[in-house]
Structure formats: C-alpha cells, structure tokens
Structure 1
Amino acid sequence: MELRQLQIFVTAAQTLNFTKAAMKLGYTQSNITSQVRQLEEELQVKLFERFGKGLRLTSEGKHFHQSAENILEQCEKAKSELTPDIFQGVLTIGAAETLCVNRLPKILLEYRKKYPRIEIRVQTESCYQLFQLLRTNSVDIALALAGNIQQPDMIVRTLYEEAMTVVISPLHPLAQQQKLEPVDLAAECLILTTEGCGYRPVVLAALEHQQVKPGAIMELSSVGAIKECTACGLGIAILPKIAVHDELLRKKLIELNWLGPPLDVKTQLIYHRDKWLSPAIQAFLELCETMGK
C-alpha cells in the first residue's frame, strides 16, 4: 500500500467521481481506476460500488476512508515537524462566491508572497455546503458570509462586519423615494440567493420580524445573476455592499436607505474543531486575522 494510493482513494471518496478525482490530482482516469482496483485487491474488500450513474462508498470504504485520512494527516504532520521552517503542501479553501471576488484575492496575494511553495485550491460553495466540506475534511478552512454561526463542532472567527444594502435599478419606480421600509416589499419582487446562502436567513428573518411577506420571490444561485436581474428592473435585492460596490459607482444600481431591522452579517473564518492545523493553515489563519483588523 502506497501513500499515493491513499491520496487517490481519499480524493475519489470526496468527489465520488473518478474523472473529477483525476482532474484534481493531475492523473488520467484510467490511472485512478487502476490504483483503486489495486488497493481493493490488496485489502480484499470492495471500496466503491455503482449507484445509478454515480459512485458511493461501501460500508468498508467508509471505514477505510477515515483511516486513510488519518494516515495522510499524520504523514503531513510528521513532515512539518521535521521541516518546520519550510512551508509547503496544499491549502484547500472553501469560500462564498462574494468573498472569492471581493475579500479572498487580497488575502491570497499576500499569502503567495510569503509562502510561494504552498499549492492553493479554492472551492466556491454555499454556506451550508461549506460546513459539509469541513466535516468531511474536503477543505481545510472556509470563509462564509453569514449571521451568527452556531455550529458546536466548528471554530468560528469574525474577520469583517459586513454592511448590507438594498439595491434596485435606476429605472425602478421606487428609485425616486431613496428609502425602503420593509412594508414596501409587500408589493414588490425580492430577488434572493438560493437556500444555503449564509445571509439569506438574515434577510428573511428581518422581514418576518416585521410581519412582511414579499409580493414575489425570485431565487438565483449566482450573485452576479442577481445583480444583472436587479439592474434590469426585475425586482429588489438585499446584498452585501462589497458585492455591489462597482455597480453603485457606475450607477448601474442605486442604493436605498433601509429603514428595517439591522441586518447583521459578517465575513467569518471557519475550521473544524478537530482539524489538525498544519503550518500552512496556521499561517493562513494568522494572515486573515491580521488583514481583518
């Protein structure tokens, strides 16, 4: 049994797709299939089984997955203890779309200057999905835009308090009144992110507190799509101000003064309580906190 085989198996177990695992690791799909088959022959168990058109882990595969992750983590830990001053390896980050565009690039720029030998992988997901990725050790650390996060198995650190803003098209009938009360949404279409977005519950809770139900709701998974639909006059959006900064400057969107309850949203850094923090991860944590001050 080789460490390379364990890495291939763990990646395949995370993606449940040999093609995606091959792309992630830079191998051919046939190589992935061959290495998994050799591992199964050595262990004399079936690790994967076909489920419809996809793959899933067998019960033996699930048990071995945890063991394989532990072995790889211990190997990485041993290497870092022998060469503590050499920052190398892979850092995998999960992040909300808005943060990938507006917060993360500056952090990564500084990180790359200090630690050029570390390979960085970034995955964009919803807040809910980020928690799942952290629990399966598919990402090392996550950055989410959300209200107060209550997850007992996670360590959560606030980096930025984020202002939320109400935006509409300059051609929208409400553009002239320059303010928006929650009750105004009773006759309007509210354009929202899909379920799983960290700040969606904050917006809906504020409306529920005022006993207001929007006249209609349009859901889009992309913040970019939300901005375009809002600019076309399809409805009203409530988004982090950092996400609409450029559109406000170009007057593609205009901002209304929100007269409803406070919308408490933060950029938060999250990692699993049981995660072993390699030097690469610790360095990223320290840089995030320094830049967030």
Structure 2
Amino acid sequence: MDIRHFKTFKSIVEEGSFSKAAEKVGYTQSTVTSQIQQLEQALSIKIFEKIGRNMVLTPLGRELIPYTNELLDTIKKIESIGKHNDIKGELRIGIAESLISYKLQNVLKLFKEHAPSVNLFIISENCFVINDMLLKGEIDIGLLYNVGNPQDSLTSVDLADYTLALVCSPLFEKDAVDFCKSNQKISTSLVINETNCIYRRMLERYFRENNIFLDNTIELWSIETIKKSVASNLGISYLPRFVVEEELENNKLNELKIGCSDAKITAIYSYHKNKWISPAMSLFMQLVREDFKI
C-alpha cells in the first residue's frame, strides 16, 4: 500500500469530489481515480460506489476514514522524530486577556527562545470564543478559564485557581455601601469586560440572586483601561485578584467586601482530542506546565 493513496482518499473525503481532490493534491482526475482503485485492490474492499452521477462512500469506505486519519497523523509524528531541536511550522493559540497580560509573558518569551522558527499566532479572546474555536479546529491550544461546560472532544488540564476582587477607587465612599446586603440600589457603575467575560457573569449572577442594582454598566475591552477608569472613580469592577495586586498594594485601588468573596476561577489549557500534538504544540504545553509548576 502506498501512503499517497491514503492522502488522496482523505483529500476526496475533505473536498467532496474526485475533481476537487485532484486540484488540491495536484494530480489529474484520472490519477486520483487510479490511486483509489489501487487502494481498493490492496484492501480488497469497495471504497466508493457510483450513485447516479456521483461517487459515494460505501459503509466500508466510511469506516476507513478514522483509520486513515490516525495513519496519517502517525506518519507526521514519525517524520518529526529528531526534529525537536529545530522545530518549525506554526502554532495557533487563543489566550484570555488577563492570562496573556499577567501570567504567560514568560512562557511566550521562552517559547520564542526555544523555537524561533515557529510562526506563532496569538488571538486574545473571551473564554467562550476560545472554547468554540478549539471545537472548530481554528486554534491548536487554548489558555482560558474553565467556563463550566466540559466538552467530550476537548482535553483540558487545570493550571491554577484564582480568587476575584471587587475593587473601587480610594475616592469611592466604601463605608457608605454594603455589597453583602441584599435588596438594594447602589449609586455607582460597574466597569467591566464584555458580556461573555466569565467573572462578569459570576458577579452579575450574584447581583441578580441578591436583588442588587447599580446605576449602569460601562463595558470596556481592556483590563488596563478598566483599572484606570476605576482608579478615576468612574465605578467599581470585579477582576482576578492577580491583575489588581499591585494597585491594591500601592493604594491606587481599594477592595470592597462582597458576599461572593470566596468565588474562584480556574485557569486551564485545552486542545482538541483529535488534534495531532506537533513538536511546537508539545513544547508550548511543556513550558506552560513548568511555569505553573504542575
């Protein structure tokens, strides 16, 4: 059996026709047809059958798909042996903004030092978008927070638990309000990330459950902008404690007590279970685990 025949078979499945597969792999259509016929002879099965004017997969042909994918992934792994000292290719990563800004800069620095030839593509998005991109195969690795909807098709590794803090400006009259008390209207604004931010969802759920209302919400897309806006007394915010530690220590921000002060978010990295773990992907995950000491 020729490995090229399996590659051609996979291209037909992906492209949906012999002609489109021929264009993709750079063969004539007659060559593609010949390769499939040779593969059928080698396996002693019928892979495609003609229904009307179309070539359609037989039941055995459909059964061959996962074995073909596994075989071709194994070939890639074999070809990568001995290449770890000169890792090439590309790596696509989706990272939550707070993690890339405050927790992963050292990992990114080390990765570029160890694999300078890898084209690194980084997308900063909210956790729900990153999760969806992983499921669609649009990125290789996601570094995000556990959003509470586990997917059977994703492999996830816990990295660390982080507490959250409700913060305000030193100018805010913190003694005049009590966020632990239910059924009240508090005259301030919530300065926070966009709607699908995991910790915004947690705070808004707490407010709904306790019938707490604020004047309005100021929605910003930058944690640094949020912190500066809160420091200027435009409102309060709810953020991972590690992103406001410096401001709390320097008294640029103050912390407010709240009934959900024990709430935590869990940082994870995830990848699709069917994803072939390339040398670049393996190195990046190794550096993440080492940095988080897991």
Change (3 A) 1:215 1:208: same
| C-alpha deviation, 1:171, in angstroms | 0.7
Residue 261 of structure 1 deviates from its aligned partner by 5.3
Which letter does structure 2 place at the counterpart of 1:255? E
Measured in 2, the distance between the counterparts of 1:98 and 1:180 equals: 25
Look up the SS of the partner of 1:228 in the other structure. helix
Q: Deviation at 1:159?
A: 0.7
Question: Does the aligned pair in 2 maintain the 1:146–1:199 contact within 8 Å?
Answer: no
Give the 3 Å change call, closer, same or farther, for CA 126–182 of structure 1 in structure 2: farther
Deviation (angstroms), 1:43: 9.6
In structure 2, C-alpha distance between the alignment counterparts of 1:207 and 1:124, rounded to whole Å: 28
Name 2:273's counterpart in structure 1: 273
Aligned counterpart, 1:48 = none
Report the 3-state secondary structure (helix = DSSP H, G, I; strand = E; otherwise coil) of the residue aligned with 1:166: strand
Q: Once the two structures are superposed, what CA deviation does each residue of 1:8-33 show, in whole Å capped at 9, x if it has no partner? A: xxxxxxxxxxxxxxxxxxxxxxxxxx
Counterparts of 1:1-16 in structure 2 under 5 Å?
A: none
Q: Return the letter of the residue paired with 1:254.
A: N
Q: Distance in 2 between matches of 1:209 and 1:281?
A: 42
Question: Match of 1:159?
Answer: 159
Aligned equivalent of 1:113: 113
Aligned residue in 2 for 1:27: none
Give the structure 2 partner of residue 223 of structure 1.
223
Q: Does structure 1 conserve the Cα–Cα contact (< 8 Å) formed by 2:145 and 2:266?
A: yes
RMSD in angstroms over aligned alpha carbons?
Answer: 3.2
> In the alignment, is the contact (CA less than 8 A) between 2:183 and 2:210 conserved in 1?
no
- The Cα shift of 1:75 comes to 7.7
Q: What amino acid sits opposite 1:212 in the alignment? A: I
The 8 Å contact of residues 164 and 240 in structure 2, kept in 1 or not, is answered as yes
Aligned to 1:79: 79
Residue 123 (structure 2) aligns with: 123
Matched, 1:252 2:256: no
The CA distance in 1 between the partners of 2:159 and 2:282, in whole Å, is 15
Deviation at 1:288, TM superposition (A): 1.4
Q: Does 1:135 align with 2:135?
A: yes
Shift of residue 178, structure 1, vs aligned partner: 9.7
The residue aligned with 2:197 is 197
Match of 1:103 in 2: 103
Cα separation, partners in 2 of 1:200 and 1:109, compared to 1, 3 Å? same
Paired amino acid for 1:163 = T
Give the counterpart letter for 1:83 in structure 2.
K
Once residues 269 and 171 of structure 2 are traced to their aligned partners in structure 1, the CA distance between those partners, rounded to angstroms, is 38
Asked whether the equivalents of residues 160 and 268 of structure 2 are also in contact (C-alpha less than 8 Å), the reply is: yes
In structure 1, the gaps of 5 or more residues are 1-37, 45-69
What's the TM-score once normalised by structure 1's chain length? 0.66
User: Cα deviations across residues 264-283 of structure 1 (Å, max 9, x unaligned)?
Assistant: 21211111122111122122
1:132-171 CA deviation, whole Å, 9 max, x = no partner? Answer: 2212322110111345342332222111111211111111
Instruction: Compare CA radii of gyration and give the structure with the larger one.
Output: 2
> Are the aligned partners of 2:247 and 2:253 in contact in 1 as well (CA < 8 Å)?
yes
Gapped regions of structure 2 (runs ≥ 5)? 1-22, 30-68
CA change 1:72–1:214 in 2 (3 A) is farther
- In the alignment, is the contact (CA less than 8 A) between 1:145 and 1:199 conserved in 2? no
- Distance change (3 Å), C-alpha of 1:153 and 1:137: same
Contact 2:179 2:258 in 1 (8 A): yes
- Matched-pair contact (CA < 8 Å) for 1:202–1:265: no
1:224 aligned partner, one-letter code: E
Deviation digits for residues 219-238 of structure 1 (CA, Å, limit 9, x no counterpart): 22222222222122121101
Matching residue of 1:18: none
Shift of 1:107: 1.4
TM-score normalised according to structure 2 size: 0.66
* Greater mean alpha carbon deviation, residues 136-145 or residues 200-209: 200-209
* 2:63 corresponds to: none
The whole-number CA distance in structure 1 between the counterparts of 2:248 and 2:259 is 19
Residue 260 of structure 1: how far off its partner (Å)? 3.0
Query: Which residue in the other structure is 1:292 paired with?
Result: 292
Question: What SS does the corresponding residue of 1:110 show, helix, strand or coil?
Answer: helix
Deviation digits for residues 221-266 of structure 1, max 9, x if unmatched?
Answer: 2222222221221211010112223333443222223343522212
**Cα distance change, pair 72–196 in 1 and its aligned pair in 2 (3 A):** farther
Between the two proteins, the alignment pairs up a number of residues equal to: 230
1:171 is aligned to: 171
